[in-house]
Chain A
Amino acid sequence: MAQIAKIHIPATGRTIELPTGLFINNEFVPSADSQETLSVINPATEEEICKVVAASGKDIDIAVKAARVAFKTTWGKNVTGFERSRLMNKLADLIERDQQELAELETLNNGKPVKVARDFDIGDSIQCLRYYAGWADKILGETIEVDNKTKLAFTRHDPIGVCGQIIPWNYPIMMWAWKVAPALAVGCTVVMKPSELTPLTALKLSQLVKEAGFPPGVVNTVPSLGAIGGAALSAHMDVDKVAFTGSTVTGRKVMEAAAKSNLKKVSLELGGKSPNIVFESADLEQAATWAALGILYNTGEDCTAGSRVYVQDSVYDSFMELLIEKVRSTPIGDGFDETVTSGPIISKIQFDKVWGYIESGKQEGAKVLVGGERRAGKGYFVDPTVFADVKHDMKIVKDEIFGPVLAVGRFSTEEEAIELANNTSYGLGAGLHSTDANQCMRVSSALEAGTVWVNQYNILHNNVPFGGKKQSGIGRELGKQALDEYTSVKAVHWNFGEKGSWPL
């Protein structure tokens, strides 16, 4: 198979040259022992873009070894925070330089609109790298007073070591940045397994990693199937930590493999069935706007998608009128079409899954207010779908659908809303809309979610931590907290004055 794929983008006339090998030790290489490839599909056309090398278990092993050597010699404690900061800022500069090209590649592979990919996904990713570049020389431990006459006690925040990172297909570049940035800032080395559905931008970013000047082995990229590469990293005896973003089902497997192998540290960002609550005092137009964004941004393929909306009885009709109008007017189509707000579902498998849920919603007796009809033609397009009159035990209310499908319920009291919202094994995000400040505080306090939005939804910032409660995850990304996921605290007790004696 070709070492460099020439990828042509009809909409813009651009041709992108993309290495299709595995990125190990700053080189693109074929698999050590396998001929397997991944067929990368354009979800808007259902056609193959190109093939890339699929890493085998042996390749994972080679990548881990490269990362280990780098950690022991050119990275880890052998590089200063100042140098890590410099390299990360350089990488951010290069991504900025190639922003448009990366956006078009992201759209081709993932389907999201080019403008969104460029200004939001990649724009935020550049900021993310710069944010963590700023932390690199600020990894502070503490000196702790024990006994001033005899002991100096202090902590060092050491980098954990070699980190396996497994990322999903919904925000390929942004998930890459969220993972790589804090790991590098602290001094860890990385073996990154991008999703087998969307490996292309990860490979392009690897080229930029090399161009920025990172030593070989610091970042390694090994596209492969989850069951091969993801499993291998989770079970590897020489990987110190695995960070995974994806489904809760797979997250369990990652944690299990970590426990069974070497008790490697685990952080997980999993699924959600996040509630968006509209109280009667809310600015209804705004609440409807945020609710629509909450389920339709990124075509609902978002772990924090506000996929359950609960509306207080007294404002139900007025709110629903506003919401339905906004949902109906959301154009879903080809990401290269500038009038489009959201793109196709990522793959055939996901497409079938989403339709399965829409069918089950109908079968279980929910009422279809918008959508629910299949589109003709090529591309995995699912039009926005809104269900009302839902019951709590319906699949569309309990399960994560990961598409533009919304379940709307109603409530009368604040207690009831909180009860409905928290009645889930997930706990990733939640939103509430109200102009009563005390209510906002009470409800935001009561909601069992790692992120609570008040009068907003789905807006994140690189410096505010993000993650799940309950079965939505373990650990936090973004903000200062992400650094903790990649550091290991060593306490040093330096005795300079105490004479020991034995026997006591």
Chain B
Amino acid sequence: MPAVFTPQFNNDSFKGQATVNTGLFINGQWVESSSGTFIDVVNPSNGKLLTKVSEGTAKDVDLAVAAAQKAFDTVWGSHCPGSRRGKLLNKLADIMESRFDELCAVEALDNGKTFQWAKNVDVAFSISTIRYYAGWADKIHGQTIETDKTKLAYTLHEPFGVVGQIIPWNFPLLMLSWKIGPALATGNTVIMKPSELTPLTALMAADMIREAGFPPGVFNLIVGYGNTVGQAITEHKGIEKVAFTGSTLVGRKIMEAAAKSNLKNVTLELGGKSPNIVFNDADLEQAVNWTAHGLFWNHGQTCCAGTRIFVQSGIYDKFLAKFTEKVKAIKVGDPFAKDTNQGPQVSQIQFDRIMSYIESGKQQGAKVHIGGGRIGDEGYYIEPTIFTETKPDMRIVQEEIFGPVGVLIKFEDEEDVIHQANDTLYGLAAAVFSQDINRALETAHKLKAGTAWVNCINTLDPNVPFGGFKQSGIGRELGEYALHNYTNVKAVHVNLGQKM
């Protein structure tokens, strides 16, 4: 029986113990991996080892797929009414709610985000997402379609069967809930690979799923590396659909592997370099506040972060002054301290990557307006950083940095800024700040992005769809739209009298 990790917390935000299974969760049981190897889980606040968890392999994926297929053929899919699936999802949400602070603490420990953010957003939003999809489970409707008297034609929206889900490390529990909500509600069984960097809350969720009473095999969790477990899932001939959230680079590999194996259905939520456009007539203070949230929320580790900030020349100086004050006030430190706004970046590799982008910005001639350096000498803390005087072809303007680093660009002309905003291979999100609602709507409609925010940014709801245009993704998560990712339409034609 695999070990159980029980971190103790004694800080201003949480006093208590958490319980985290460290094995693989396959067929309703906690098991050792078939290779007997482990992955180190590191605390990004200090770079030290937290615990080891079992490392899954392709063989474990095979075992999980067999279990998931069996469950789909016997106790899930069409063998389990939607109302019961909904009930189980609600039960899961109840259990998560009963261990709310424990989940927040483990998320902060593993990922480095602050306890406060985990509480206000990650864990709360995860629970409401699960509840939202619980409500859809018995409402998966097809259509009856009138053709002519000799035919009864209707559609059934059937689950795929076994689906693979690969999630990232930036919002570990939240990304898990966005994936399992629609997948389980529609009757699919799941093989999930959480990020090897942040497996802990996923491991907790798996045990809560067991406790809620989901039949064995319906949900399986395998912690492992992208090029082993991730690859095995994407290539697997027994998996009908794969859903991936992560970098565009890896997204391409996923789609390629899917195409080469069994043409499994693919949905992707990838990167972004989202523009945030602030017009002269914006509410200045609000624009400043939202812009800071748009860039620095989750330490910039957000796919839809507004990392290219376009400010119209009429308010540029005032905006810069206020924004600088805002950035200076960001308190970076221990995720468990109550007044901390920003914790460490998630890993050494991410830290190095972000620092190298900052370096490239300097080298390509941009001006470091504020920040630009490391904080402290343990843990992966980076100063909130803003570059000005950039050129469009600079790497810091083109490429996704995924850290607390943004570029501030002055603009004059509305047509020009829309053009610049759209001049990217990404298309995940965009924001517009203007008190002229006509201009705001017109601009929002012209921006090529899956989410257009008007006078706000980085705010989401479980029932509003989210996803990318262009190379930011394929398909939509959240809302009713996510259900389409997990259902296969069967059209049934019943001949009532047409003679051949």
Cβ contacts under 8 Å, A497 to chain B: 438, 442
The answer to whether the Cβ of B132 comes within 8 Å of any Cβ in the partner chain is yes
Tell me which of A89, A127, A480, A496 contacts B438 (CB under 8 A). Answer: A496
Query: Judging by beta carbons under 8 Å apart, are B442 and A130 in contact?
Result: no
Q: How distant is A97 from chain B, measured CB to nearest CB, in Å?
A: 14
How far is A437 from B90 in the complex, measured between Cα atoms in Å?
39
Query: Judging by beta carbons under 8 Å apart, are B494 and A441 in contact?
Result: yes
Query: Judging by beta carbons under 8 Å apart, are A85 and B135 in contact?
Result: yes
How far is A136 from B86 in the complex, measured between Cα atoms in Å?
14
Tell me which of A130, A136, A138, A462 contacts B136 (CB under 8 A). Answer: A138
- Residues of B95-136 at the interface with A, using a CB-CB cut-off of 8 Å, are 128, 131-132, 134-136
DSSP majority for the A interface? helix
The answer to whether the Cβ of B158 comes within 8 Å of any Cβ in the partner chain is no
Q: How distant is A290 from chain B, measured CB to nearest CB, in Å?
A: 22
Question: Given known contacts A85-B131, A441-B496, A463-B139, is B463 in contact with A138 (CB within 8 Å)?
Answer: yes
Closest A residue to B438 using CB positions: A496
Query: Judging by beta carbons under 8 Å apart, are B496 and A442 in contact?
Result: yes
Tell me which of B83, B90, B131, B442 contacts A127 (CB under 8 A). Answer: B83
- Residues of A98-150 at the interface with B, using a CB-CB cut-off of 8 Å, are 127, 130-131, 133-138, 140, 148
Tell me which of B87, B438, B462, B494 contacts A130 (CB under 8 A). Answer: B87
How far is A284 from B134 in the complex, measured between Cα atoms in Å?
40
Query: Judging by beta carbons under 8 Å apart, are A134 and B134 in contact?
Result: yes
Query: Judging by beta carbons under 8 Å apart, are B135 and A138 in contact?
Result: yes
How far is A82 from B463 in the complex, measured between Cα atoms in Å?
10
The answer to whether the Cβ of A322 comes within 8 Å of any Cβ in the partner chain is no
Question: Given known contacts A130-B86, A497-B438, is B132 in contact with A137 (CB within 8 Å)?
Answer: yes
The answer to whether the Cβ of A363 comes within 8 Å of any Cβ in the partner chain is no
Q: How distant is B80 from chain A, measured CB to nearest CB, in Å?
A: 15
Question: Given known contacts A82-B128, A138-B480, A441-B494, is B138 in contact with A131 (CB within 8 Å)?
Answer: yes
**Contact pattern, B 440-452, Cβ under 8 Å of A = 1, otherwise 0:** 0110010000000
Q: How distant is B90 from chain A, measured CB to nearest CB, in Å?
A: 7
The answer to whether the Cβ of A438 comes within 8 Å of any Cβ in the partner chain is yes
How far is A438 from B497 in the complex, measured between Cα atoms in Å?
7
Query: Judging by beta carbons under 8 Å apart, are A134 and B138 in contact?
Result: yes
Interface size on B, residues (CB 8 A): 27
Closest A residue to B441 using CB positions: A496
Tell me which of B83, B128, B438, B480 contacts A131 (CB under 8 A). Answer: B83
Tell me which of B86, B128, B445, B497 contacts A134 (CB under 8 A). Answer: B86
**Residue from B132, B135, B141 whose CB has the most chain A CB atoms within 10 Å:** B135
Question: Given known contacts A441-B152, A441-B494, is B441 in contact with A133 (CB within 8 Å)?
Answer: no
The answer to whether the Cβ of B437 comes within 8 Å of any Cβ in the partner chain is yes
Cβ contacts under 8 Å, B152 to chain A: 441
Query: Judging by beta carbons under 8 Å apart, are A130 and B141 in contact?
Result: no
Q: How distant is B78 from chain A, measured CB to nearest CB, in Å?
A: 16
Question: Given known contacts A82-B128, A85-B131, A140-B480, is B441 in contact with A134 (CB within 8 Å)?
Answer: no
Cβ contacts under 8 Å, B497 to chain A: 438
Cβ contacts under 8 Å, B462 to chain A: 137
How far is A470 from B433 in the complex, measured between Cα atoms in Å?
55
Q: How distant is A317 from chain B, measured CB to nearest CB, in Å?
A: 31
How far is A136 from B134 in the complex, measured between Cα atoms in Å?
12
Tell me which of A89, A438, A463 contacts B496 (CB under 8 A). Answer: A438
Q: How distant is B81 from chain A, measured CB to nearest CB, in Å?
A: 9
Closest A residue to B132 using CB positions: A137
How far is A138 from B140 in the complex, measured between Cα atoms in Å?
13
Cβ contacts under 8 Å, A462 to chain B: 83, 138
Cβ contacts under 8 Å, A438 to chain B: 496-497
How far is A81 from B497 in the complex, measured between Cα atoms in Å?
46
The answer to whether the Cβ of A152 comes within 8 Å of any Cβ in the partner chain is yes
How far is A496 from B432 in the complex, measured between Cα atoms in Å?
16
Query: Judging by beta carbons under 8 Å apart, are A148 and B445 in contact?
Result: yes
Cβ contacts under 8 Å, A89 to chain B: 90
How far is A368 from B137 in the complex, measured between Cα atoms in Å?
49
Query: Judging by beta carbons under 8 Å apart, are A137 and B86 in contact?
Result: no
Cβ contacts under 8 Å, B83 to chain A: 127, 130-131, 462-463
Query: Judging by beta carbons under 8 Å apart, are A137 and B442 in contact?
Result: no
**Residue from A82, A134, A437, A480 whose CB has the most chain B CB atoms within 10 Å:** A134
Cβ contacts under 8 Å, A496 to chain B: 437-438, 441-442
How far is A133 from B152 in the complex, measured between Cα atoms in Å?
32
Q: How distant is B88 from chain A, measured CB to nearest CB, in Å?
A: 12
Query: Judging by beta carbons under 8 Å apart, are A137 and B441 in contact?
Result: no
**Contact pattern, B 135-150, Cβ under 8 Å of A = 1, otherwise 0:** 1111101000000000
How far is A345 from B86 in the complex, measured between Cα atoms in Å?
37
How far is A497 from B128 in the complex, measured between Cα atoms in Å?
38
How far is A131 from B86 in the complex, measured between Cα atoms in Å?
9
8 tightest A-B CB contacts, nearest first: A134-B135, A496-B438, A441-B496, A496-B441, A438-B496, A463-B138, A137-B463, A441-B152
**Besides the contacts A86-B131, A134-B137, A152-B441, what 14 more A-B pairs have beta carbons closer than 8 Å?**
A81-B463, A82-B128, A82-B131, A130-B87, A133-B135, A134-B138, A137-B132, A137-B463, A138-B463, A138-B480, A437-B494, A463-B82, A463-B139, A480-B141
